[in-house]
Chain A
């Protein structure tokens, strides 16, 4: 067993990823919270580490600054326990949002199957789920400020 780090090219570039957000709206006198997912594109700089080959033939590692995100980062830098906790919480918050969307889809299927009461109950659960997730994000935001 061994640990290794692969090189991933970095630098300025644009990429797209899915972006999920929710909003609350009312219809037929019932307030629901729905999630929407759409593609989102932006540019940013990835840090990276790689070997340099110099004119005299020698090589050495060259590391760029940390951008605060581990995704796509091949750096050999060590992370503090707090950084790891924050990364895990960030993952959980995103993961919960994905689960909330799955539940909302499930609710829609219940509605389609003719069980509107079950649909409303599951959507209420989705709303509770999102409230809990919002609390997580507030904790994350407070950790970011420290």
Chain B
């Protein structure tokens, strides 16, 4: 219900992917983030965790071997 900040791999300032995220879709191995201004960012990976109280989400990026 609240907007979230999404991080890539770990929760640190340099790993912020998108702030004020209002929607997250997971499709075909992609995590698709949409912010309040309807900007979208797609990350190839999986949703690792979502803390809906503190408003943050961590996405594990897929790194090919």
Contacts and interface: CB of A to CB of B under 8 A. Distances in A.
Given A2-B41, A70-B36, A87-B36, 13 more contacts: A1-B17, A1-B42, A1-B44, A3-B39, A4-B40, A5-B40, A6-B40, A72-B38, A79-B37, A88-B36, A91-B20, A95-B2, A98-B1
Nearest to B32: A4
Interface residues on B, range: 10 to 19
A84 interface: yes
Contacts of B37: 70, 79, 84, 87
Contacts of A142: none
A87 B39 CA distance: 13
Interface residues of A, number: 18
B43 interface: yes
A87 B42 CA distance: 22
Contact of A74 (B1, B8, B20, B38): B38
A3 B38 contact: no
A38 B46 CA distance: 37
Nearest to A5: B40
28 contacts: A1-B17, A1-B41, A1-B42, A1-B43, A1-B44, A1-B61, A2-B41, A3-B40, A3-B41, A3-B42, A4-B40, A5-B39, A6-B40, A70-B36, A70-B37, A71-B38, A72-B38, A73-B38, A74-B38, A84-B36, A84-B37, A87-B36, A87-B37, A88-B20, A91-B20, A91-B36, A95-B1, A98-B1
A95 to B, nearest CB: 7
Contacts of B1: 95, 98
B3 interface: yes
